[in-house]
């Protein structure tokens, strides 16, 4: 079971143009006059309540921001040590993961990550030119050299990490350029996340207008779904022929697991929301999901210091059902078992069958991806089941897709 914690809230040392969390300052700053750094008492309360209630043996705390490293290394040392105490008391296995922009990582941080076996997610959008399009420091300085330095440090200290590449309207046109660049850095675990956001037209409740299905205007950095589909398919064609045994790409891993009969590990493809998506903000407020941090009471569950555990669980269960409200078009789609309608946040495109129903913005992308890679995935499963040497896979792939190497 995973739980998301934001110890620095929306605070960040970067101003990435596509970041959906920086805007949370608009309402959080008005609700709280204090600097949004998490207090230790909120942290301990959340960890103890979640660990004591959770039935799973393995629990991972995912630390995000803003930029979560801004709070300092001593905060995480306390969190890790308290996690060890709780793990012993409740007979659990406690793990930690941090999603960071990497610009603050130095030798001390890297050694700490290694020593405590903390998994790191590092954001990088491609080579220097592509990365710097949207990922700038607050003074408009490039962040690229700092990210490369973080990669070198983590490799030196043998830190387990993966890269997260936000696929936007610019870098989507260069799938192999990005993939081969990451390979040149000896990156072995990759994620590619498509971005779609609206322009800054929000209502009086600080919620984007698309949530009411009107005035849907895409922000310029939003990726075109068909281009995103081509991006993933192009990387897949390269990966299945050359890198299946030495590079892990989360989307491919997830789909392969699903086709092998295992549940999806990506929340966007899960049949329901809730539980793993729950977010603890720096002030102790708990929200239903990372993508639904708004002041509306149906998203804002309460504060960890005074929230009853049964009440919290009831709210989570109700939220879980929300994702299952699918359009008729989705229900009739042959790919529904794979995508389950996608993330509710992305369901702002009017259905072709009912103008009052909505489907995912990424529906065309998912269809394109599933149609293209499913045959290859099934081929991989056949190789695994029959224990066929991987060296024969490229020619089998070429034959299946009727292409030459």
Residues classed as catalytic: 290
Please give the full DSSP string across 186-232, using - where no structure is assigned.
T--EEEEEE---B-S-B-TTS-BGGGGT-S--B-TTPPPHHHHHHHH
Nearest to 54 by CA among 322, 258, 278: 278
Element (H, E) at 303: strand 300-303
Per-residue DSSP letter, 270: S
Structure tokens at 234: 């192009």
Q: Which residues lie closer than 8 Å to 143 by C-beta, 6 or more apart?
A: 14, 101, 103, 131, 132, 135, 136, 137
Pair 182, 156: CB distance under 8 Å = no
Spatial separation of the C-alpha atoms in residues 8 and 66, rounded to whole Å: 6
Measured CA to CA in angstroms, residue 198 lies from 18, 210, 292, 341, 362 at distances of: 10, 8, 14, 20, 14
Query: Reduced to 3 states, what is the DSSP secondary structure of residue 152?
Result: helix
Measured CA to CA in angstroms, residue 209 lies from 166, 203, 206, 217, 322 at distances of: 23, 6, 9, 9, 19
Phi/psi class of residue 145: alpha, beta or left (left: φ > 0; alpha: ψ in -120 to 50)?
alpha
Query: Reduced to 3 states, what is the DSSP secondary structure of residue 279?
Result: strand
Spatial separation of the C-alpha atoms in residues 56 and 398, rounded to whole Å: 43
Query: Reduced to 3 states, what is the DSSP secondary structure of residue 398?
Result: helix
């Amino acid at each position: 079971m995973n739980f998301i914690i934001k110890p620095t809230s929306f605070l960040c040392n970067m101003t990435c143009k596509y970041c959906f969390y920086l805007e949370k300052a608009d309402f959080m700053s008005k609700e709280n006059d204090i600097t949004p750094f998490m207090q230790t008492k909120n942290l301990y309360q959340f960890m103890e309540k979640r660990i004591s209630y959770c039935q799973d043996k393995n629990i991972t705390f995912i630390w995000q921001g803003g930029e979560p490293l801004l709070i300092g290394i001593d905060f995480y040392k306390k969190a890790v040590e308290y996690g060890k105490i709780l793990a012993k008391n409740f007979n659990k296995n406690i793990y930690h993961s941090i999603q960071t922009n990497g610009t603050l990582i130095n030798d001390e941080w890297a050694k700490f990550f290694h020593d405590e076996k903390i998994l790191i997610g590092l954001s990088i959008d491609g080579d220097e030119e592509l990365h710097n399009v949207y990922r700038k420091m607050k003074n408009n300085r490039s962040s690229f050299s700092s990210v490369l330095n973080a990669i070198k440090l983590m490799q030196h200290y043998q830190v387990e990490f993966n890269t997260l590449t936000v696929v936007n309207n610019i870098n989507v046109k260069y799938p192999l350029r990005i993939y081969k660049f990451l390979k040149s850095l000896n990156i072995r675990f990759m994620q590619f996340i498509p971005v779609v956001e609206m322009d800054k037209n929000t209502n009086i409740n600080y919620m984007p207008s698309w949530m009411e299905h009107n005035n849907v205007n895409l922000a310029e950095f939003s990726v075109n779904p068909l281009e995103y589909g081509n991006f993933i398919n192009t990387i897949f064609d390269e990966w299945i022929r050359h890198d299946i045994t030495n590079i892990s790409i989360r989307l491919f891993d997830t789909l392969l697991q699903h086709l092998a009969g295992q549940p999806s590990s990506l929340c966007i493809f899960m049949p329901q929301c809730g539980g793993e998506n729950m977010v603890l903000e720096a002030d102790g407020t708990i929200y239903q999901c990372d993508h639904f941090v708004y002041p509306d009471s149906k998203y804002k569950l309460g504060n960890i210091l005074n929230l009853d555990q049964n009440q919290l669980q009831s709210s989570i269960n109700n939220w879980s059902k929300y994702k299952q409200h699918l359009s008729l078009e989705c229900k009739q789609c042959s790919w529904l078992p794979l995508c389950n309608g996608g993330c509710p946040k992305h369901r702002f495109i009017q259905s072709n069958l009912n103008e009052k129903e909505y489907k995912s913005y990424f529906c065309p992308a998912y269809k394109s991806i599933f149609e293209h890679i499913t045959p290859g995935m099934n081929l991989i499963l056949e190789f695994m089941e029959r224990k066929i040497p991987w060296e024969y896979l490229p020619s089998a792939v070429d034959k299946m897709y009727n292409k030459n190497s």
